[in-house]
Amino acid sequence: MTENVWTRWPSKEALRHEGVSTPRRLLARTVRLVVLGALLWGAFTSSRVHGWGAIAAVAGLLTAVSLAWVFSRTTLAHRTWPSLVLLAALLGVAFAAQSTGFRVPALVIWCAGSVAALERLPLAAALPMTAVGLTSYAVATDDPWLPTLATTAGLALAGYVLRLDAEARGGAIRLLAQERAARAAEAESAALAERARIAREIHDVLAHSLSAQLVHLEAARLLIERDADRQQILDRVVAARGMARDGLAETRQALSALRGELTPLEDFLSHLVRTTETDAEVTITGDRRALPAEASQAVRRVAQEALTNARKHAPGARVRVRLDYGVHEVMLDVRDSGGPAGELTTTGGGYGLLGMRERAELLGGSLRAGPGEEGFVVTLKVPV
């Protein structure tokens, strides 16, 4: 709901005079000194400044300055009624000064109080107080009516202009603070996203490497339980060792990817099918081009996971890997020819493709995995 313009306070940033340049601060202090000088001059050049009159002048001056200072503190806290009471008391000091012959201090207090009311109070409260102050000034001054009217109108305009200037400055300060907060939140979000990306890369590399090692170690275990030939067991252990070595190489590659140093995707897929111990072929279609790092990494990880699953669930099956460069997306299609389930079908937690699907969705793409016409099909689509 929009706040009522008549009851809205100037912002605290505006009332504190934050963001004011040094020349403007000097000008404001000069104006305050001039007002104080006028009060002193008007008080101590009066014919009544002797004896008790001097004491009354000093007391009135101290009272006016104290009320003005407390008024500024109270308006800063947006306290309506205490602010009105303090301003009314300040105007009352002016009436008292006028009635006791201190005419100049009374005029100064009425003018300054009227301007301060327009600058620091809600308009609904400022207008009546300003009307009282400027009317009192107009009645008490000896100037002709036309200059008096011009002076009162100028003072009212000055107070309202000061209010608008303060509100504009306060709005600029708030916008600057919001922009800084937004930049800090953006930087924090970018840092979190980068940490999540690093964690995802390390997880995917380790998951693939450890899963491949588990395949061979589980095969070695089954061979030992069946009292198989020693060479068969040794071959599986050697293969697991090779997977560990490949995992280390992939970890280094992932670190290179995080630095933006990626090998061509086509070379990666060709190397992958050569080292996966599957009967696989790679087909590249479309206009080859460099992909964004996240999209390229998604294709690499899905290809690794799909080939590992094919080796695990359909050993000996023929695997076809197709990479298609579309205009707006890149598609990876990995499908096997099917066959009897391998002995290692039950190994693993089944979280590999789920993680790949989450990775694809984070990039605005999709991943479909399920039975095809012959065997199992994994299809990844990522916008580029």
Percentage of the chain with pLDDT > 70? 77
Q: How confident is the model at residue 348 (pLDDT cuts 50, 70, 90)?
A: very low
CA pair distance 261, 159, nearest whole angstrom: 63
Give start and end residues of each alpha helix (H) in the chain. 12-15, 22-44, 52-76, 80-99, 103-120, 123-140, 145-225, 230-258, 265-275, 293-313, 352-362
Q: Does some domain include residue 209?
A: no
Does 16 have pLDDT greater than 80?
A: no
Q: Domain ends where: 142, 160, 189?
A: 142
Predicted pLDDT at 179: 86
Q: Does some domain include residue 7?
A: no
Q: Does some domain include residue 229?
A: no
φ, ψ for residue 325 (rounded to 5)? -90, 105
Q: Does some domain include residue 284?
A: yes
Structural domain that includes position 379: 263-384
- Over residues 97-150, the pLDDT tens digits come to 888 777 777 888 888 888 888 888 898 889 999 999 888 888 888 778 888 888
Whether the CB-CB separation of 341 and 314 falls below 8 Å is answered with yes
CA pair distance 6, 12, nearest whole angstrom: 17
Most confident region among 59-68, 88-97, 235-244 by mean pLDDT = 88-97
Interstrand relation of 279-286 and 366-371 (parallel, antiparallel or unpaired): unpaired
CA pair distance 67, 290, nearest whole angstrom: 73
Better-predicted residue by pLDDT, 196 or 65: 65
Better-predicted residue by pLDDT, 204 or 89: 89
Scan for tokens 């990479």, then name that residue. Answer: 323
Average pLDDT over residues 185-211: 72
**Which DSSP symbol is given to 78?**
T
φ, ψ for residue 323 (rounded to 5)? -115, 120
CA pair distance 2, 362, nearest whole angstrom: 38
Q: Does some domain include residue 156?
A: no
Residue among 249, 8, 271 at smallest CA distance from 120? 8
Stated pTM of the model? 0.47
Q: Does some domain include residue 323?
A: yes
Predicted pLDDT at 349: 44
Q: Residue type at 14?
A: A
Predicted pLDDT at 347: 44
Predicted pLDDT at 381: 92
CA pair distance 9, 203, nearest whole angstrom: 55
Does 9 have pLDDT greater than 80?
A: yes
Percentage of the chain with pLDDT > 90? 8
- Over residues 287-324, the pLDDT tens digits come to 888 888 778 888 888 888 888 888 777 777 888 899 99
- Burial group, residue 219, by CB count within 10 angstroms (0-12, 13-18, 19+): buried
Query: Would you say how long the chain is, in residues?
Result: 384
Q: How confident is the model at residue 350 (pLDDT cuts 50, 70, 90)?
A: very low
Q: Does some domain include residue 97?
A: yes
Q: Does some domain include residue 23?
A: yes
Does 216 have pLDDT greater than 90?
A: no
Number of domains in the chain: 2
Whether the CB-CB separation of 330 and 324 falls below 8 Å is answered with yes
Better-predicted residue by pLDDT, 381 or 141: 381
CATH of the domain at 280: 3.30.565.10
Does 52 have pLDDT greater than 60?
A: no
Average pLDDT over residues 239-247: 76
Predicted pLDDT at 344: 43
Helix (H, G, I), strand (E, B), or coil: what is residue 334? strand
Q: Domain ends where: 108, 142, 176?
A: 142
Q: Domain ends where: 111, 142, 173?
A: 142
Average pLDDT over residues 191-213: 70
Lowest mean pLDDT among 107-121, 164-178, 190-204: 190-204
